[in-house]
Every structure is written in C-alpha cells, then in structure tokens.
A and B are shown apart, each in its own frame.
Chain A
C-alpha cells in the first residue's frame, strides 16, 4: 500500500498537468470574484470564507478523474485488483495520494488567497485547520465518484453531477467554521462535525469505492 501511495505521488508530481493545475484553478476562481462582485473590501471580507471553501472544493473536483482513469486505461487497475492488497486498500492509498497532491497544497494556498480577499486576521488559523481537516473528506468522497464513473467514456460532467451533492455537508460545516470565526463566535462545534464527517468518509468510502470498482471491472 505504501509503495502504491508513493507511486501515485510520483506520478502526480512528475507527469505535468495535474499537480499545479488545481492550484492555478483555485487562484483564478478567487481572482474572478472581485471581477464579479466588485472590489469593495468589506463585502469581500464577508464572502471570503465561502469563496475560499467553494474554490478549494472545485479545484479538488478537477483532478478527481485522474485517480482511477489512467490506471484503468492502461490495465494497471486490473493488476491491482488481482494483487494481494484488497481493493479498498488500493482506494485508501490512491485517495491519500490525491489528498497530498491536491488537498494539502490547496490548504496552504488558501492562506495567501485569504489575504487577497481581505479575510479578517482572526480567521486564518480556522481557515487553515478547517481545510486541513475537511479536504481529506473531499478526496475520499471524490475517489468514490471516480470509481463509479471509471468505465464511462468522457464521464467528467457526470462525475461532477454525482460528487458535488455529496460535498454539500463538507462545504457547509467547513464554511460555517470559518464564518463563525469571522463573526467572533465559537467555531468548535462545526469543526467537530467536519472532523466527524472526514472520519466517516475515510471509514465508509473506501469500501463503497471498492464495490464500485468491482462492478466496473467485472
């Protein structure tokens, strides 16, 4: 499993067009917001938590189809399915690799982008923590969507239609955490819910993904 994790990590970094792309997309989304709603700093500060969370979520969505698509095309997935590691273990390794190459960089990039959107200074720590805790859920849920659509040609649009509704609770708890911090009230309850959601996704999603992969491979 560790070998698979490292392999996916190396593939993501060395083959261009995946690793930095999500970050660039995130930057562009954040940059577009002032174009769309005006550069009023108080307004930007008000909507910053939501924009940062939605931006990170959409950037995460972009790279989901890579989790299984390439391996399915060249037959690696069939080899993995017959290997001694269970398919759910394969999914865990791949989801973790996706998080390290997408969720983690997005979490770090959100801090300077938050400054661009005039996010109040008390909220930075909460923004970082909420994204750090919440993005693994995005990767694990996303891997499930990728596993379901792996057999479909040009399933990108379908993938987003399936995955985005599943992202709703994560987005709500994540954004509410930051909003509560901005308002000066206690963000802990929503952060706890977010952590619970991530743990739930880590526990159930690999099995669901493995079921979906099996159905697609047979």
Chain B
C-alpha cells in the first residue's frame, strides 16, 4: 500500500468520491465557524475599527494563492518524473483556483488598504509580487489552453511551472530590492501572525483551515471533472 497507488485514475476516483462528502462537511464547518466567529465574535480594533475583520478573508486567500502554486509545482514534478496522468490533471485543476485566490487576496487587500493606508493600490513589494504571481498564473493557464495534444500540454506546462517557480521566487526578492527604502516593511506586519492578538488568532486559524480544506476539495472535484473529460474524449475517439 503506497501513495502511488492513487496515481491509478480508477483508484483515485474511488478514493476521492469517498473523501468528498466528509471534506465538504469539514470545509463548511471550518469556514462558517471561522468567519462567523471572526466577524461577530471579535471586538473592533482600537485603531482600525471593524475593517480589521477583513483579515479573515485576506490572510487565508493570500496563503492559498502561494500554496496552490507550490502544489502545482509538486504535481508537475511528479508528472515529469513518474508520468502519472492524475498528477498532471491535478496541476491543471489547481491553476484556476490559485488565480482566484490571488484575486481575492488582491481585492480584499485593496478594500482594506483604502481606509488604512488611504489608497487601494501602492507599488509596495508585497502587492507587486502578488501582481507578478497573478501574471504567472495567467501564462500557465494560457499555455494549457493553447496546446491540443494533452500529453505535450502536460509536459510543457510542467516545465513552465518549474522554471516559473524559480523566476517567481527571484522576482519576489528582486521586488524587495527594487523598492527598498520606499516603504517601511513594518507597515504591513499586521499580516504576520505574531502581531495578531489571540482574540483574532484563533478564528483566523479556523479560516485558514477552512481555506486549505476548500482548496483540497475544489482540486479533487476539478480533477475528477478532468478525468471524466479525458474518458469522454477517449470514448468519442473510439466510436469515430
């Protein structure tokens, strides 16, 4: 019994169909607890008022935006090394979710930034690197949709994901270098958990767990869809 057994699409479909109901319930529980507790069960911040509560959407989505790319990187490497189709399809399935998380992080950040910093957008290193991440997701998804042969597409997107990770990471630090001295890093350190009071910390943990579960759940569902699409295409090809 090893993990690689689930590289078999049939086994994967079986396992995921058994997992999805449990996962759905857990996701809803975590998200509802986290968000309701966060929005109604915590006091207003003495400086930020109630705008602080956007943290319960902002931080988890930003976290998942990056982790989704990491998951795509791992899945791409598995495809390149062991040629498991489920892995390639999972990477494909994760990209639209990742880009949505990036958009949510940017959007909630803008809404939070207006009352706090007086602007929706600043060329701050963190904001800029999220914009860059967004562009990398766009390129990755565009490449998937541009190639007809699915194995070639999986190969090329995996290579792009690998090289893209290197350069996305480089950009992340290059951006720090570029805007050094313009922005105090500390103005953003509200994001860091050690600066958040316990009353915000526990509901935030629930929200983060909820977003992680939501991501896993959506990836499973979308991968199942991709596998079924692949099967349907194979059937159609056989009948012609």
Question: Which residues of A are interface residues toward B (Cβ below 8 A)?
Answer: 141, 144, 148-149, 151-152, 155, 158, 161-162, 164-166, 168-169, 172-173, 176, 190, 193, 197, 204-205, 208, 211-212, 215-216, 218
In residues 84-122 of chain B, which contact A (Cβ within 8 Å)? Answer: none
Which of B139, B147, B166 is in CB contact (< 8 Å) with A204? B166
The contact sample of 14 A-B pairs, CB cut-off 8 A, is: A151-B147, A151-B152, A152-B146, A158-B143, A161-B142, A168-B132, A168-B167, A169-B171, A172-B171, A172-B177, A172-B178, A176-B177, A193-B174, A215-B152
What is the chain A residue whose CB lies nearest that of B178? A172
One digit per residue, 1 when the CB lies within 8 angstroms of any chain A CB and 0 when it does not, for chain B 127-149 equals 00000100110110011001100
Which of B136, B147, B168, B174 is in CB contact (< 8 Å) with A173? B174
The residue in B138, B156, B163, B168 that gathers the most chain A C-beta atoms within 10 A of its C-beta is B163
- Contacts across chains A and B counted by CB atoms under 8 Å: 74
> What residues of B have a CB within 8 angstroms of the CB of A152 in the complex?
146-147
Given known A-B contacts A152-B147, A166-B164, A216 and B177 have beta carbons under 8 A apart: no
In the assembled complex, the CB of B240 is this many whole angstroms from the nearest CB of chain A, namely: 24
Bound CA span A216–B135, Å: 24
What is the chain B residue whose CB lies nearest that of A166? B167
B175 at the interface (CB under 8 A from A): yes
Given known A-B contacts A172-B174, A176-B177, A212-B159, A165 and B132 have beta carbons under 8 A apart: yes
Bound CA span A165–B164, Å: 8
> A165 to B167, Cβ gap below 8 A?
yes
Number of B interface residues, CB 8 Å? 26
In the assembled complex, the CB of B151 is this many whole angstroms from the nearest CB of chain A, namely: 8
Question: Which residues of B are interface residues toward A (Cβ below 8 A)?
Answer: 132, 135-136, 138-139, 142-143, 146-147, 152, 155-156, 159-160, 162-164, 166-168, 170-171, 174-175, 177-178
> B139 to A169, Cβ gap below 8 A?
no
Given known A-B contacts A165-B132, A197-B170, A215-B155, A190 and B160 have beta carbons under 8 A apart: no
> What residues of A have a CB within 8 angstroms of the CB of B174 in the complex?
168-169, 172-173, 193
> A165 to B166, Cβ gap below 8 A?
no
> A204 to B175, Cβ gap below 8 A?
no
Which of A141, A148, A165 is in CB contact (< 8 Å) with B136? A165
> B177 to A215, Cβ gap below 8 A?
no
Bound CA span A168–B176, Å: 13
> What residues of A have a CB within 8 angstroms of the CB of B136 in the complex?
165
> B156 to A148, Cβ gap below 8 A?
yes
In the assembled complex, the CB of B125 is this many whole angstroms from the nearest CB of chain A, namely: 11
In the assembled complex, the CB of A168 is this many whole angstroms from the nearest CB of chain B, namely: 5
Which of B138, B152, B162 is in CB contact (< 8 Å) with A161? B138
In the assembled complex, the CB of B73 is this many whole angstroms from the nearest CB of chain A, namely: 14
Known: A169-B171, A218-B152. 12 other contacts (CB 8 A): A141-B167, A152-B147, A158-B142, A158-B143, A162-B160, A165-B136, A165-B164, A172-B171, A172-B178, A190-B177, A205-B163, A215-B159
